Chain A
């Protein structure tokens, strides 16, 4: 079954870092880029950037540059996204999804990140 399975919910304090993982199954992760998108409660979708599991190339949206790192581990078919210096407005559901072939668009189930002291 073609799917992306994400790690579980996280609760973090302001200023901390969070790492969300995304494991691919049913397809070869290196055949597609992986994009990360987040959605704050009651808000729309926000593009964060992408990574090429094949080359390691990344592109981060300007808003997140300096605070986000996207990586992949091809041996485990897992992509990860780390966001640092968390603020209250980083509370959101974070999604990974395939990218690069618009006809092949698989999304993970989402990972809820709560930022609270």
Chain B
């Protein structure tokens, strides 16, 4: 399984919105509504912020939203805050009981 393709880095100013893309194939992102997004701060474990493409875990800010078009999933963060600065990873079901991660995107605020 090849890793999903994410931009290495994105940046934005406080209050702005940014979108991180996650390009897959018809074998993973394109075939299943099972894309998750994780936020990871340095030295910390990943934290789930979006699951099943566009659902937020209980208690998570609605500034985070997910979507999909074809074989590309996207994460949008609105109203950027300093604490949003982190690495973001997408993850998709890829059939055959396996999942595949994206290479990660560093967000600079």
**A53 part of interface (Cβ distance < 8 Å):** no
Contact A107 B46 (CB under 8 A): yes
Within 8 A of B (CB), among A58-111: 59, 61-62, 95, 97, 102-103, 105, 107-110
Contact A44 B103 (CB under 8 A): yes
Contact A109 B97 (CB under 8 A): no
Within 8 A of A (CB), among B54-109: 55, 57-58, 89, 91, 97-104
**A10 part of interface (Cβ distance < 8 Å):** no
**B18 part of interface (Cβ distance < 8 Å):** no
Contact B98 A61 (CB under 8 A): yes
Q: What is the interface residue range for chain A against chain B?
A: 20 to 34
The smallest C-beta distance from A5 to any residue of chain B, in angstroms, reads 12
Q: Which residues on B are within 8 Å of A, measured CB to CB? A: 1, 3, 34, 36, 38, 45-48, 51-52, 55, 57-58, 89, 91, 97-104
Q: Which residues on A are within 8 Å of B, measured CB to CB? A: 35, 37, 44-47, 49-50, 59, 61-62, 95, 97, 102-103, 105, 107-110
